[in-house]
Amino acid sequence: MHRFYRYELRARNVDDARAFYRSLLGAEPTIVALPDELAARGVVPHWLGHIEVDDVERSAIELVEHGATKLGPTVQRDGGAVALLRDPGGATIALSRGLPASSLVPCWHNLNAAKAGAAMDAYGRAFDWIFTDETDLGSFGVHHSFAYAAGEEAIGSMTDITGRPSVHPHWLFHFLVDSLEASSEVVHRAGGTVIGPIELYTGSRIAICEDPQGAAFALWQQRGSEETASSAVIARGG
């Protein structure tokens, strides 16, 4: 079964990134140096999700057949094989096998796609992911929840960013925290940015962030003891 299993932060300064996320999340994510050739082209630090596959080359070809673009040859590293692709919605992902799995795992995976319909079709056909519910989040778009297989709980959503020029195609990984306010303050103090809190219709709250080096991620606080208006989809933000 094809699932995300490795979440790789590509950072300019690896040591600084380790210290920041340790203070924020109490654990170190998988962090590697942003390749020099990408930094020279102006690529900012970012999170890269790896989907585990049995045959990297074959899976890459299949995803290309469904509209993705392969970004260079498959490479061997760290005892495994890795292929980078731009999915049909414009976001970069990795297909890999044999690499160590990340110990710090997001609680939610949100794909912001330039062509959500094409992205949903590609991931569904190539990996057999199942799309479940649709939720209209107003200015944040219609989110199509997905699960890795039928009968499993949703682990993420995909949404179209058409009409949202400030958002580029990317996978946004959400990390669980106990207190959104306290965690947001850690981001602020370190020189990062925070948009939120944003209250979801479920009562959970999120904040969309950039770390001090510019990598986008999100914080997620589960619904607490206070009741929220069940009719509200987005209650507040900004």
CATH number at residue 116: 3.10.180.10
pLDDT tens-digit readout, 207-230: 999 999 999 999 999 876 233 322
Any domain includes 63: yes
The pLDDT assigned to 166 comes to 76
Note whether 135 and 233 are within 8 A (CB): yes
pTM equals 0.89
**Residue 214, Cβ density class (10 Å: 0-12 exposed, 13-18 middle, ≥19 buried):** middle
Any domain includes 130: yes
Any domain includes 31: yes
Element (H, E) at 64: helix 56-65
Any domain includes 219: no
Any domain includes 229: no
Residue given tokens 């990134």 in the structure block: 17
pLDDT tens-digit readout, 199-210: 877 778 999 999
Among 112, 113, 117, 118, residue whose Cα is nearest residue 63: 118
Q: Give the integer Cα–Cα distance in Å for 142 and 81.
A: 35
